[in-house]
Structure 1
Amino acid sequence: MLRSRDMSWWREGTVVAVAFALCLLGGALRVDDTVTPPPVAAYLLAAVSSGLLPARHRAPVATVIATTVCGMLVAPIGLLSTPFTVAPVVIGAYSLAVGAERRVALAALLPAAALLVTVPPFFETDFSWADTSRLATVAAAPLVAAVFGRSTRHRRAYLTIMEERARRAEESRDEEARRRVAGERLRIARELHDLVAHQITLANAQATVAAHLFATRPEQARKSLDELVGTTRQALDELRATVGLLRHPEEDTSGTSALTEPAPGLAQVPELLSTFHRAGLAVSIHEDGTAGPLPPAVDLTAYRVIQEALTNVAKHAATGGAEVRLVRDRDQVTITVTDDGGGARETQERPPGYGLIGMRERVAAVGGTLDAGARPEGGFRVSARLPLPAAGKTARKTDGATDGEGR
């Protein structure tokens, strides 16, 4: 701050000194093109007119008027009116054009230029055409300085606009980066929820069975414990693969996060159902339509919907069975998971979860829709419709009942 203030005083002092020197040079010039020492009046006039310049930033119009009055006194005190003697007027005109509006600048400068050329002919003897051209130069000097001042004003305004645009572009880039980071975090959160919730639910069911059979049927309890070991090992492997996203955040062309292991799909559904069978949940599956390869994003989403819906059945529904219906056609894949258990009833101790929220987000990400809610005849139903690329782009929206959002 102090350094900037020192530089400002130094700049103002330089401007005043230059204006004072130019005024003295003009006071030394004579009509016959000779140079003589400037009289005392020239020193006084130069000091007064130059001393007015530091006020040109705060009061530019008053500074131009005051320096113009000093310029009008050049001829009456016996000095030759030249562009040098009106240097303070020129400097004031430049500052006025930079800081004031165009109408204000013209209203002050045009009368000033006219006054500078109307007074000298009354005091200069033997006025000639050469004197006319000299006075024309005197009148033009502040106007030319004003043109340069307007150019500087426009350039500064342009630089300000460019800086503002650059600042906004930087803010937009930062906002886009934050949005992408938030999207990646949400995607990883969905992966972790689907993997951990499914495996922990199965592990809990297997541990419960083992504890129940430990005293009466130790061999069956040992089998359940062996299955528990396999379930936890698989959970660790899938968790390790998902956490790899944090170290390798590259994305493939399908728009899904790049895992360190192949992403699951509908081909792995039979293996998924077998894990629920071993946990005590009987799941039947019915498939209609022609089986074929699906886009990676749709394939993964279909698998996760079935996995999360069955996990919700195992956790929340008071039933030992569920049904999965998978319909494929040319335009879309429809997945329906139903059960006839307790539906969306939750214990008061259990806080609402993110299962259905995550499913809706996954389905919406591929342009599909998801319906979820209690069935009139009892139980719960989850239905997802996933469009295929041949069907064109489908509007990304989610609808359906909000009942059971805590599942």
Structure 2
Amino acid sequence: MELPMMWRQWLARHDRITDVLPAVPLLVIAAGATAAGQHGWQQPRWHDVVWTALSCVPLAFRSRWPLGVALFTVAGDLTLMAVAPHIAPTPAASLIALYTLALLGSRRTAWIVGSVSAVAITGVYAATHAESVVAGASLLRFDFALAATALGRAVLNRRQSLAAARERVDHAERTREEEARRRVAEERVRIARDLHDVVAHHITLVNAQAGVAHHLMRANPDQAYEALAHIKDNSRAALDELRATVGLLRQPDDAPGSRAPIPRLADLDALVGGFQASGLSVWVARTGAPSPLAPATELTAYRIIQEALTNTHKHASATRTAVVLDYGVHALRVTVTDDGRPGTPKGAGGGHGLIGMRERAIAIGGTITAGPRPEGGFQVVADLPLSLAPSLPDAP
């Protein structure tokens, strides 16, 4: 396998040798044709071999000047056929030159030169050999000239088709790589959003409970001990969720089941209990007829409630928060309202938490609004679709 590769590389560095290589079999064929007689093999007619060799000399430059070599070679063969028809060899060099012109030149030029050369070779041969232009030998030369041009164009079309196919494959490969990079970027954003939700929620609770424990350590050790127990539970929950979230990066495949989120609305009581243990009163109500939710909708609703309660605990001087889940026909409305002071800053619209809530809602086709209320406090309202599948139009 290495020898043919080395041979091709060597030929690629020596264009003149590559161009003149077809002359070798032409000389062998010319010598064999003149040596074959009616009564067996005889001495080759060396003058025919010499003329064949001379006609092949211009082929050494056929790849550099294909049009000039084709015109020169055809003109030389026509001159030799007209001056010395009895020793003129078959114009094989002209056929190679016409093939090269069709391969490297323009389509129009190749067919014009090929057609004119075919007619000229046929006419000169018929005139010098006293034959009809429709005789077998004359037509054979006509067909050979056109066939050389057609073969060159066919090879060129084949090469262009292969090049176009390779370009399409390369483009598809680049597109797949770009799509993979885009998916990786989206996955990083999703994981960063999950990590922010988990860390912000649990660390906020741990900080609040640590403050309660520090305040009650001397006055009421029992309640301080209970606060420390809550810190332990929230820390363990934070570690578990962090481990589950980061573990998604280690999955060997991309199956949807391997990426199923852990928290659901069924875990809402545990979430609310953690905030209540840290001193925030949370009231939860469900209205409407509860219906099955898409997993993405359930995760989004849970994360929005978690982030809203975290923001309330971190930024608002609120003592009471209401969470309302209103199940509609096609959407779930999640409303989180607190009783913080009017104008209490909560980073509306600019914090990572609110940005993450908005991105989550938009990602599943929902909407979300968040802002302070005129009477005081802060409110988050999210409308999330119950199902992510497109709904069918009602029958008329």
Q: TM-score range by the shorter chain?
A: 0.7 to 0.9
Instruction: Verify the 8 A CA contact 2:335 2:381 in the aligned structure 1.
Output: yes
Structure 1 position 372, deviation (Å): 1.6
What does residue range 180-199 of structure 1 map to in structure 2 within 5 Å? Answer: 180-199=183-202
What does residue range 349-364 of structure 1 map to in structure 2 within 5 Å? Answer: 353-364=351-362
Counterpart residue identity of residue 382, structure 2: A
Q: Could you tell which deviates more after superposition, 292-301 or 378-387?
A: 292-301
Structure 1 position 228, deviation (Å): 1.0
Is 1:113 aligned with 2:118? yes
In structure 2, relative to structure 1, the CA distance for the partners of 1:371 and 1:346 (3 Å cut) is: closer
Q: Show the counterpart of 2:57.
A: 51
Aligned mates of 2:248, 2:113 — CA distance in 1: 69
Structure 1 position 276, deviation (Å): 0.6
Aligned mates of 1:123, 1:80 — CA distance in 2: 9
Structure 1 position 309, deviation (Å): 0.6
In structure 2, relative to structure 1, the CA distance for the partners of 1:131 and 1:373 (3 Å cut) is: closer
Is 1:88 aligned with 2:93? yes
Counterpart residue identity of residue 61, structure 1: L
Structure 2 unaligned residues grouped into runs of 5+: none
Structure 1 position 356, deviation (Å): 1.5
Q: Show the counterpart of 1:405.
A: none
Aligned mates of 1:274, 1:33 — CA distance in 2: 111
In structure 2, relative to structure 1, the CA distance for the partners of 1:53 and 1:251 (3 Å cut) is: closer
Instruction: Verify the 8 A CA contact 1:323 1:337 in the aligned structure 2.
Output: yes
Q: Deviations over 1:247-291 (max 9, x none)?
A: 2365666x88235xxx22222212211111111111222321123
Q: TM-score, normalised by structure 2?
A: 0.85
Aligned mates of 2:181, 2:326 — CA distance in 1: 38
Q: How many residues align?
A: 382
Q: Could you tell which deviates more after superposition, 373-382 or 52-61?
A: 373-382
Counterpart residue identity of residue 98, structure 1: L
Structure 1 unaligned residues grouped into runs of 5+: 395-407
Aligned mates of 1:175, 1:235 — CA distance in 2: 34
Instruction: Verify the 8 A CA contact 1:248 1:258 in the aligned structure 2.
Output: no
Q: Deviations over 1:179-234 (max 9, x none)?
A: 33333333322222222211111001011122223343333322222221121112
Is 1:14 aligned with 2:21? yes
Counterpart residue identity of residue 355, structure 1: G
What does residue range 306-385 of structure 1 map to in structure 2 within 5 Å? Answer: 306-341=305-340, 345=345, 353-385=351-383
Counterpart residue identity of residue 191, structure 1: D
In structure 2, relative to structure 1, the CA distance for the partners of 1:380 and 1:81 (3 Å cut) is: farther
Aligned mates of 1:163, 1:251 — CA distance in 2: 29
In structure 2, relative to structure 1, the CA distance for the partners of 1:251 and 1:138 (3 Å cut) is: closer
Q: Show the counterpart of 1:270.
A: 269
3-state SS in 2 of match to 1:337: strand
Is 1:153 aligned with 2:160? no
Q: Show the counterpart of 1:70.
A: 76
3-state SS in 2 of match to 1:214: helix
Counterpart residue identity of residue 220, structure 1: Q
Q: Show the counterpart of 1:403.
A: none
Structure 1 position 152, deviation (Å): 0.8
Residue among 259, 279, 300 paired with 1:257:
259
In structure 2, relative to structure 1, the CA distance for the partners of 1:283 and 1:370 (3 Å cut) is: same
Aligned mates of 1:69, 1:31 — CA distance in 2: 32
What does residue range 167-316 of structure 1 map to in structure 2 within 5 Å? Answer: 167-248=170-251, 257-258=259-260, 263-316=262-315
Structure 1 position 53, deviation (Å): 0.7
Aligned mates of 2:336, 2:165 — CA distance in 1: 57
Instruction: Verify the 8 A CA contact 1:322 1:339 in the aligned structure 2.
Output: yes
Two-structure CA RMSD over aligned residues (Å): 3.2
Counterpart residue identity of residue 78, structure 1: A
Q: Show the counterpart of 1:104.
A: 109
Structure 1 position 60, deviation (Å): 1.3
Instruction: Verify the 8 A CA contact 2:36 2:42 in the aligned structure 1.
Output: yes
Counterpart residue identity of residue 318, structure 2: T
Aligned mates of 2:39, 2:78 — CA distance in 1: 21
3-state SS in 1 of match to 2:219: coil
Q: Show the counterpart of 1:404.
A: none
Structure 1 position 24, deviation (Å): 5.2
Aligned mates of 2:383, 2:184 — CA distance in 1: 28
Q: TM-score, normalised by structure 1?
A: 0.83
Counterpart residue identity of residue 381, structure 1: Q
Structure 1 position 326, deviation (Å): 1.5
Structure 1 position 382, deviation (Å): 1.0
Instruction: Verify the 8 A CA contact 1:27 1:79 in the aligned structure 2.
Output: no
Counterpart residue identity of residue 124, structure 2: V
Aligned mates of 1:204, 1:150 — CA distance in 2: 79
Instruction: Verify the 8 A CA contact 1:202 1:279 in the aligned structure 2.
Output: yes
Aligned mates of 1:335, 1:37 — CA distance in 2: 101
Instruction: Verify the 8 A CA contact 1:330 1:391 in the aligned structure 2.
Output: no
Structure 1 position 77, deviation (Å): 4.7
Is 1:138 aligned with 2:141? yes
Q: Could you tell which deviates more after superposition, 355-364 or 331-340?
A: 355-364
In structure 2, relative to structure 1, the CA distance for the partners of 1:305 and 1:390 (3 Å cut) is: closer
Instruction: Verify the 8 A CA contact 1:29 1:80 in the aligned structure 2.
Output: no
Aligned mates of 2:288, 2:204 — CA distance in 1: 31
